[in-house]
Amino acid sequence: MRSGSTGRAVGIVTLVLAALLGSAYALGRSMVPDPPRRPTGASAHVDGTQYAEQPAAPVSPTPRAARSEATATATATATATDGVPQAGADPDAPQPAAGGDGPFGSHASTGSPQVALTFDDGPDPTYTPQVLQVLREYGVKATFCVVGENAQDHPDLIQAIVADGHTLCNHSWSHDVLLGNRTPALIRADLVRTDEAIHAAVPDARVAYFRQPGGAWTYPVVSVAEELGMTPLHWTVDPNDWQAPGAAKITTVVTRDTAAGSIVLMHDAGGDRQGTVDALHRILPDLMSRFRLEALPVDGTT
């Protein structure tokens, strides 16, 4: 009897200890943050890096304007389509020197009847030469918003863009969607580093524009860009070609939504851009029959 009672007592103690240990483990796990997840919808760069774009959201300076790349990240980084800072924006941040018609005083139209085609995230050794060739065939000049690290890796493509008479735009060093939330000093260093990579390829190149990755504008990033002599460049038409929806869909959106004064956003890097290249063969004849297509002026006026 005594040994049986002892056995039952030991069993009860074991169960209690097990329950206590389980509770302690669960509590400890709840206090450890989950590891960061890779962003969804990221565009793979040729070297394996990810350019995290965002789902589309309306940002329309004109009735026929299409959509912005940024929603979730743009909201978190204080982007507002009506120019009013949202949560996270610094109300004491310097204001843009000259307001445009886009978010936070950026420019979302050419300000003229002309239409401007823009290509982001390059240069890319596979797709940028193809885009240049199509533009050359139709005699169209465009604006290329280049990423600093890509400019550094492919100076020959920067030279080719300039040699063909296209305009250059700074698109940050590494496509940093959160750049607008950093200090003015860090923003300035990023933009200057990108300009230096461009000038290493073409010393006298004029970089007249800056485009914030993801369209995640803030007052500080607009202000710094303007201090460095660059016009903050947004867009009016976005076919979301970074998602590789296919040439047909890209063509439909661009030809349907483009109006006089539109700035059209497309990509020549950051992922599979064959659909964009193929779409250009359909887009250019249509737009050329209705509008005058021009590169944005190198003096930065839109």
C-alpha–C-alpha distance, residues 93 and 146, integer Å: 27
- Indicate if the alpha-carbon torsion angle 13, 19, 20, 22 is positive or negative: positive
Alpha helices in the chain (DSSP H): 2-30, 72-76, 128-138, 148-153, 155-163, 184-201, 219-227, 247-257, 274-290
Radius of gyration of the chain (CA): 25
Give yes or no: 120 in active site.
Answer: yes
Give the bridge partners for 266, in sequence order.
119
Of 107, 175, 267, 268, which one is the catalytic site residue? 267
Give yes or no: 241 in active site.
Answer: no
**DSSP secondary structure string, 153-220?**
H-HHHHHHHHHTTPEEEE--SS--TTGGGS-HHHHHHHHHHHHHHHHHHSTT--EEEE--GGG---HH
Of 45, 101, 107, 120, which one is the catalytic site residue? 120
Q: Which residues are catalytic?
A: 120, 267
